[in-house]
Amino acid sequence: MSFAVDVAQEKDIITPEFKKAGSKIVWLRTQIDEYDIPVYDKVMEQYGRFTRDIRDGKIISAYALERHGIVAAVSKMAFGNRMGVKIEHNIDERDLFAPAFGDLIAEVPAEKVGELSITYTVIGEVTSDAALSYKDMSIAIKDAEAAWKEPLSQVFPTNSGASGQEEKIDKELYQTKDVHICTHKIAQPTVFIPVFPGTNCEYDSAKAFERAGAKTIIKVFKNMNAADIIDSVHVFEQAIDQSQIIMFPGGFSAGDEPDGSAKFFATAFQNAKMKEAVERLLNERDGLVLGICNGFQTLVKLGLVPGGAITGQNEDSPTLTYNTIGRHISKMVYTKVVTNKSPWLQKAELGGVYTNPASHGEGRFVASGEWIDKLFANGQVATQYCDPQGNISMDEEWNVNGSYCAIEGITSPDGRVLGKMAHSERRARSVAVNIYGEQDLKIFESGVDYFK
């Protein structure tokens, strides 16, 4: 694997996907000598001008050409937002697939083309018709994308072929004024974030709560020997007693072994002292509990969702199991808020669509029909997977793990315990800037405001 690293101001970073119909597509050609070697001084001069044009807002997306030339570059730029491309008739078809190392393709707003400082050739424009067009030929973007993915589809499939992906999910939003009110007010709540070997989201989780105005306590559960475990139980008990919120973060605790994800997490919290500390937080201090990804798996195994107490699981309990694709999934997902019952969702829009990263191998929510009906009826289904337009979907393109009824997150009966798979904590300035749609579910702000 070969890669390069450079440093730049975040405000100057652009992404490669085409942004809007009507933009012009320009080609910066690298000057080469008689040996096909780039003329260094000329290349650096053009790259310097290209950088200035980006900073001045004249170039809004760009792509470096490779051995497959213009067609490969503009196709990949079009795939991101399913935009169309129309190549000018006067472009020599021999140039479309010719290697062009060092050359750049850029998207430029039509009104700014004449302001470019680079030497360029206009080769086409971005369209809204989701097709690649040149002379009398037109290829639909969806067909081009399918052809691009096909060579590796048998090696690395993106769809399991499981049945039921066309199933329609038609559930009404759950709206209520009966939201649990905290009777133990505090100006600045404290959040305890337990860390086990394999946890990897504790820093993101702490930053998210601190941005929302909370204090955080992070403690590592040590397990090198019996004395470490005894000490950790004592430390965790003290931390819980000092806190108003417990946040179970994501990761792969104990490498998701033995016997599946979050087993180590859940086993530790069934210790009598830690269990009693959690019960005091929930029952005596009106506390809250949040679990994301591996943390959601922990809540399910403990019984905190959907039950609201540490009871463990029985044979008919809802659970999280392996994704239908049979492997780890890592991609952005869209989720729809379908209840307003939980204190964690008070700042989210009921019916609103939010996009966050998902990264898990065991995120498929499974439950009996009786349990699912009960969860919906009680407003305990917090969020469901959907497409960008908010349509609840069983299609693996959107419901990435094949969860029953596209359920992404659930709560305890009173809403004070929330578990979800997508990483709402993994958002910050300049993170996922090329992903469109609202990314901030405001669950951390909602959790903090609950105590005010």
CATH number, residue 332: 3.40.50.880
Residues 45 and 99 grouped into a single domain: yes
Residues 312 and 255 grouped into a single domain: yes
CB-CB contact of 102 with 67 (8 Å): no
Given pLDDT bands bounded at 50, 70 and 90, which one contains residue 36?
confident
Q: Examine residue 235 and state whether it is found in any structural domain, yes or no.
A: yes
Domain, as residue range, for 261? 190-449
Instruction: Please give the pLDDT value at position 155.
Output: 87
CB-count burial class (<10 Å; 0-12, 13-18, 19+) for 13: exposed
For range 272-298, the mean pLDDT: 97
Q: Examine residue 128 and state whether it is found in any structural domain, yes or no.
A: yes
Please count the other Cβ atoms lying within 10 Å of the Cβ belonging to residue 409: 31
Given pLDDT bands bounded at 50, 70 and 90, which one contains residue 234?
very high
425 is catalytic: yes
238-247, 251-260, 341-350: segment of lowest average pLDDT: 251-260
Residues 6 or more apart in contact with residue 131 via CB below 8 angstroms: 84, 85, 138, 139, 140, 141
**Average pLDDT for the chain:** 95
Instruction: Please give the pLDDT value at position 443.
Output: 98
For range 384-391, the mean pLDDT: 96
For range 257-279, the mean pLDDT: 86
Instruction: Please give the pLDDT value at position 262.
Output: 79
Does 396 have pLDDT greater than 80?
yes
Q: Model's pTM, two decimal places?
A: 0.93
Q: Examine residue 227 and state whether it is found in any structural domain, yes or no.
A: yes
Domain endpoint, select from 120, 150, 180: 150
Does 202 have pLDDT greater than 80?
yes
Identity of the amino acid at 333: V
Does 215 have pLDDT greater than 80?
yes
Q: Examine residue 182 and state whether it is found in any structural domain, yes or no.
A: no
Domain endpoint, select from 94, 121, 150: 150
Model confidence pLDDT, tens digit, residues 123-138? 999 999 999 999 999 9
Instruction: Please give the pLDDT value at position 260.
Output: 67
From 121, 142, 75, 66, select the one nearest 99 (Cα to Cα). 66
Query: What percentage of the chain has pLDDT greater than the value 70?
Result: 99
Q: Examine residue 206 and state whether it is found in any structural domain, yes or no.
A: yes
Q: Structure tokens of 187?
A: 């100006």
For range 217-226, the mean pLDDT: 95
Instruction: Please give the pLDDT value at position 259.
Output: 63
Q: Examine residue 68 and state whether it is found in any structural domain, yes or no.
A: yes
CB-count burial class (<10 Å; 0-12, 13-18, 19+) for 203: middle
Catalytic pick from 182, 293, 386, 405? 293
Q: What is the dihedral of CA 252, 258, 264, 266, to 10 degrees?
A: 100
Q: How many domains does the chain have?
A: 2
Residues 80 and 224 grouped into a single domain: no
Domain endpoint, select from 150, 179, 207: 150
Model confidence pLDDT, tens digit, residues 3-17? 788 888 888 999 999
Residues 242 and 133 grouped into a single domain: no
Containing H/E element for 373?
helix 369-377
Residues 126 and 231 grouped into a single domain: no
Does 120 have pLDDT greater than 90?
yes
Does 403 have pLDDT greater than 80?
yes
Residues 141 and 233 grouped into a single domain: no
Does 1 have pLDDT greater than 70?
no
Instruction: Please give the pLDDT value at position 158.
Output: 84
